[in-house]
Amino acid sequence: MHIQEWLETVPAIAVYLLVGGVIGLESLGIPLPGEIVLVSATLLAATQDHINPYVLGACAIAGAVVGDSIGYMIGRKGGKPLLEWLGRKFPKHFGPHHVATAERSFQKWGMWAVFVGRFIALLRIFAGPLAGVLKMPYWKFLIANVLGGIVWAGGTVAVIYSVGKVAEEWLKKFSWLGLLAAVLFGLGSLVVMRIKAKKAEAARAAEPAAAQAEPVGTAD
């Protein structure tokens, strides 16, 4: 079967559920590649008429908002012990340094850390549970959560779909290139995120060393 014909057999409902589910679980606090899945699904929608971009965007927004809200409730009930447990289970995502970075972001931006966090891989996982742990008023959380979900998920679908439609004829002739582009974009995003995470971790590791190197004043 030609790859184009195979793509046409992928049920739209399966794509919608996959996008909403992965983004929802990521927002809830489970480290999953929500952004990569969203971009890949949107590129698919740009080449397959049976996948409605408006429905896709709505599912992505719903997953983001509902997932974050569930994460908030879990964080509010679980408190600090929850973050400590997550740190033991997922040290690469919920380690002490990650938690400290996220807490500083919340202290700096307040409720808008939830909105801004939607665009940052680390905060996207932390935002809901951490807002609950820090007892942020739910109405503040909800405003930032809904706005962030609409702008991030809806905006991503709109931009990627528009770009995909511009190149639709080209992608239809070389459908495997469309899939390759989605995979390369996803891998590139993952590499960039890991490089940034390593740089941030190196900077954090250098802070104690710099503090110890500071000269201590002598008493008179």
pTM of the model: 0.67
pLDDT greater than 90 at residue 21: yes
The Cα–Cα gap between 8 and 27 comes to 30
- The answer to whether 47 and 170 have CB atoms below 8 angstroms apart is no
pLDDT greater than 60 at residue 7: no
Tens of pLDDT, residues 139-184? 989 999 999 999 999 998 998 888 777 655 554 555 455 556 655 6
The Cα–Cα gap between 175 and 168 comes to 9
What region, left, alpha or beta, does residue 24 occupy, with left being phi > 0 and alpha being psi -120 to 50 degrees? alpha
The Cα–Cα gap between 185 and 195 comes to 15
Query: Rounded mean pLDDT of the chain?
Result: 76
pLDDT greater than 70 at residue 14: yes
Q: Which residue has the higher pLDDT, 45 or 102?
A: 45
Tens of pLDDT, residues 64-110? 999 999 989 988 887 777 777 766 766 666 667 767 777 777 777 77
- The answer to whether 178 and 41 have CB atoms below 8 angstroms apart is no
The Cα–Cα gap between 178 and 175 comes to 5
Length of the chain (residues) = 220
Residue type, 188: G
Q: What is the CA radius of gyration of the chain?
A: 20
Q: Which residue has the higher pLDDT, 92 or 47?
A: 47
The Cα–Cα gap between 84 and 140 comes to 25
